[in-house]
Amino acid sequence: MATQAQTPQSDVEQLNAELERAEGAAGGGAGGQRQKSITIGTVCKALAQEFPDISISKIRYLEDQKLLTPRRTPGGYRLYTQGDVARLRTILRMQRDEFLPLRVIRQELAAGRAGDGAGTSPVPAGKRSREGMRPWRTSVSVREATGALYSLEDVLEETSADAKLVRELEEYGVVKGELRGGVRYFDETEREIIGAVAELARYGVGGRNLRVFRSSADREATLLQQILAPALRSRNPQRRKEAVEALENLAAIATHLKHLLLVRDLRKIVR
């Protein structure tokens, strides 16, 4: 019988052991009341098996985006508690499994979603967009975000993207931006698109290579619009609200299907 691969629960046990050691090293201050903490390097190592692409810089980026708030020592070192690590694991799973942008992840966390087991609960039956439809959890939001706009300088600073790459994305229609007073601004979604492309650029992927993604997204959006067009155009607020929920649900299903098809094809490559 084949040896069973180590599960995420094993990572949790390893992490707890690290926390125990860290607490002991700290001398158990205040009668053992202080919450256990570990360093960013230990966190990175503990999560590496489930998230091979995890890195210290990525954890710091999530902190810069106000998704993590680890405690700091007087010397400025980050210290992570069990709660911080559970929150980080939830964030990484939402990125990997549900393709959620940071804006939506931030909303999910603010709504109380956290913990190692989070993220698998289905949408309640009352939220089904049509009778008999499988209750997918909505992982796509098409509603307006905060309305915040970011200048090119802000986007470059937050995503570490190159200005030339952003111009290339504009040239190929991947992002558009909005001109105001001669200054181009980007909304939250386009800012995160640029951030994702900046990661791909590290592997030599340029704007011209992304036309296939743009074309695929356009075709899928058109298909979903055709399915729900009458309801989306309805003047009845309730019917339109239900249509938007159905659109988000269909988009979540389509996203999951693309993920499965991609995984299937990638597995053929590595055989």
CA distance 269 to 266: 5
The boundaries of the domain holding residue 223 are 211-270
Closest residue by Cα to residue 49 from 11, 83, 16: 11
Tens digits of residue pLDDT in 102-159: 888 888 888 777 654 444 443 443 344 344 444 444 455 676 656 788 899 999 988 8
107-116, 188-197, 229-238: which range is least confident on average? Answer: 107-116
* pTM metric for this prediction: 0.51
Q: Is the pLDDT of residue 23 over 90?
A: no
Within a domain: residue 120? no
Is 136 within the bounds of a domain?
no
Quick one: tokens of 14?
């390893």
119 assigned to some structural domain:
no
Q: What's the number of domains the chain is made of?
A: 3
Same domain assignment for residues 197 and 216:
no
pLDDT tier for residue 88 given thresholds of 50, 70 and 90:
very high
Q: Are residues 168 and 219 in the same domain?
A: no
Instruction: Kindly state the tokens that stand for 191.
Output: 């800012």
Domain-located, residue 264:
yes
Q: Collapse the DSSP code of 206 into the 3-class scheme (helix H, G, I; strand E, B; otherwise coil) and give the result.
A: coil
Distance CA 199, CA 73 (A): 31
What are 219's two structure tokens? Answer: 């075709």
**Backbone conformation region of residue 70, classed left if phi is above 0, alpha if psi is from -120 to 50, else beta:** beta
Q: Which helix (H) or strand (E) holds 79?
A: strand 78-80
Pairwise CA distance, residues 82 & 79, whole Å:
10
Distance, CA of 8 to CA of 134 (rounded, Å)? 27
